[in-house]
Amino acid sequence: MLKIKSLPLRALQSVKRPHRLALATLGPRAFAFWHTFGLTVWIALVEGSGWALILPGLLLLLWPGVAYAHAALAIDSKRAEFRNLLFDSLLYGIWSSVLDYYVWATLTIGLACFMNNMVVGGLRRLGLSVALFTGGSLGWGALTGFEFRPYLGVGVDIYQGAGAVIYFFALAYVMHGQNRMIGHSIAETQYKNRVIHALLDLGAVANRASNINTLLDDSLKHLHADFPEYGFAVFLQLHQRREVTRYAAVAGLHLGPEEERRLGSLLARQHEPYASTIKLSEKPEGEQLYATSMTGRLSRYEGWLIVRAPRLDAALESMLALFVDQLAAATENKLLHLELKKTAERDGLTGLYNRGFFEAALQLSIEGKAQPPGLDFAVLMMDVDGLKEVNDRYGHVAGDQLITTVAERLSGQCREEDILARYGGDEFVILFPSGDLSAPNRMAERIRTRLEGQRCVITPALGKNVVVEVRLSMGSASSTETSAQEVLSLADKRMYHDKTRRHQQGARG
């Protein structure tokens, strides 16, 4: 069986990409040492020393490769390259002595070494470079004997001067490239910081939002505030009916109602699930509209995040993916929260507010009455007559049908600001948060006129459909006639008084 052994840590480190400084200095260093080798060969031919000078000069050709390998294989590639730059100074100091202190070479090579070290390490490394260059130059001269040949000829001067100019321009170009990389890194970091800030904003907005519309509107406003150069829109469409846009929000995009409708229709036709961002508009130039799908991130809707931007690059596409994930998660959590809240506030059978929610709303009205300016409120209590007889005769399934029918018809009579709740088994109650006794009285009259005596078809668990009449006993009260704490109790007493009266009338009839 073939066994594969994992590489040791040292081996893994040896194949990593070296520090950018080692990559940046590779070209200029190779040119400088090859140029110096050429100068060495030229001087050897001029003075007739031949291979005695050329063979040692081969070290100049090997050093750039050795220096790069040293940096690439080192654990700390950057520190290794700093050592290489100092060794450049020592090696060139020695070579200036080998070339008998030829002035042009000594001056230009020394300046190049000093500048390289000062750029990466400041005055301290400049001092080390000067010390190593001087030490190498004087030390080698002391070992081999000092010979001074400051001038060799016009041709050699031109060669060395041209090489120095090329080297310094190459070095300037490398520094320019490094500055551009640093500038790009700073801009990229700032962009990422903006993205992180925007994501944090979206999280805070999601916590504050009371509903989906507020969540989407506020989220896009924060996105546009963090990225004013872009415009944003979001569309949520029903899974089964993509042509129906359930929620939409826009920020930084000037879209009229017709344009919103057209854009929603365009998105509805995008049936294929897209994992990446797609272009929606086909303008020849200028800003475009791009859409990122929320497919797979939402349980009830198909979602799209739209952005207006001059172009789509990797940074923008990555940002949109993050925003889509955040928006989808916030929307899904808010939908779940609202569903749980609805479950906690609503009656399971009728879908009306339950007793707990009604009592909390009533308490707020009581507190509002106690505080200036003392807002009045009113209550209408109702009881479904004959529910017990329906349950006893036809079963509780039929009784539930009667309750749900009454609940539906009562809902149709209430205004948006009225709070209609199922208070108990056959009892309903309406809270009028700002109103006197006339409000429940008008409502009672409307119910008497429009609902009282209406027929209701119910289907028992076993048997044929049965028709029963809707009859309600009612009692109303207001904080204008009694204390706020006694309003509900008074309405309840009046409701039972009405029920007793109706039963007595029925018995006499």
pLDDT number for residue 3:
40
- Look at residue 431 in the predicted model and tell me its pLDDT: 94
Task: With cut-offs at 50, 70 and 90, classify the pLDDT of residue 345.
Answer: confident
Amino acid occupying residue 390: V
> What percent of the chain lies above the pLDDT cut of 90?
17
Report how far residue 303's alpha carbon sits from residue 328's, in angstroms, rounded to the nearest whole number. 8
- What is the residue whose two structure tokens read 């060669």? 159
Summary mean pLDDT of the chain: 83
CA angle 319-264-282, nearest 5°?
65
Spell out the SS3 assignment of 458-490.
ECCCCCCCEEEECCEEEEEEECCCCCHHHHHHH
What pLDDT is recorded for position 503?
A: 79
The type of residue at 426 is D
Mean pLDDT in residue range 470-486: 92
pLDDT surpassing 50 at residue 4? no
**Coil, strand or helix: which one is 428?**
strand
Q: What is the mean pLDDT of residues 116-132?
A: 88
- The one-character DSSP state at 435 is -
Q: What pLDDT score does 50 carry?
A: 74
C-alpha dist (Å) from residue 72 to 13, 26, 34, 486: 9, 11, 21, 86
CA 417, 418, 420: angle at the middle one, nearest 5? 140
3-state secondary structure of 274: coil
How high is the pLDDT of residue 508? 61
What tens digit of pLDDT does each residue of 35-60 get? 888 888 888 887 777 777 888 888 88
Rounded distance between C-alpha atoms, residue 422 and residue 424, angstroms: 6
Residue 418's contacts (CB-CB under 8 Å, 6 or more residues apart) are: 430, 431, 432, 443
Q: pLDDT grade, residue 271 (50/70/90)?
A: low
pLDDT for the residue numbered 9: 45
Contact 334, 203 (CB under 8 A): no
pLDDT of residue 509: 57
pLDDT at 506 over 70: no
Percentage of the residues of the chain whose pLDDT score is greater than 70: 91
Instruction: Answer yes or no: pTM beyond 0.85.
Output: no
- The whole-number pLDDT of residue 273 equals 57
pLDDT of residue 408: 92
**Token digits for 417?**
């600001």
pLDDT tens, position by position, 210-223:
888 888 888 888 88
Q: Which residues contact 358 (CB under 8 A, 6 or more apart)?
A: 419, 421, 423, 429, 431
Model pLDDT, residue 1: 34
> What would the pLDDT profile of 130-159 be if each residue is shown by its tens digit?
999 999 889 888 888 888 877 778 888 888
Using the predicted structure, report yes or no on whether residue 272 has a pLDDT greater than 60.
no
Mean pLDDT for the stretch of residues 236-251:
78
Given a cut of 90, whether residue 297 has pLDDT beyond it is: no
Domains and CATH numbers, the chain: 11-181 (no CATH), 209-343 (3.30.450.40), 355-508 (3.30.70.270)
- For residues 66 and 450, what is the distance between their CA atoms, to the nearest angstrom? 99
For 328, the enclosing helix (H) or strand (E) is helix 314-345
Residue with tokens 């008497």: 448
- 5-14, 115-124, 199-208: which range is least confident on average? 5-14
Summarised one tens digit per residue, pLDDT across range 381-433 is 999 988 888 888 888 888 888 999 999 999 988 888 899 999 988 899 999 98
Q: What is the mean pLDDT of residues 109-115?
A: 86
Mean pLDDT of all residues in 109-137? 88
pLDDT value for 430: 94
The model's pLDDT over 348-388, given as tens digits with 9 standing for 90+, comes to 899 899 998 899 889 988 988 888 778 899 999 999 988 88
Closest residue by Cα to residue 91 from 136, 56, 135, 130: 136
List of E strands, 310-446: 378-384, 419-422, 427-432
Check pLDDT > 60 for residue 334. yes
**For residue 13, is pLDDT > 60?**
no
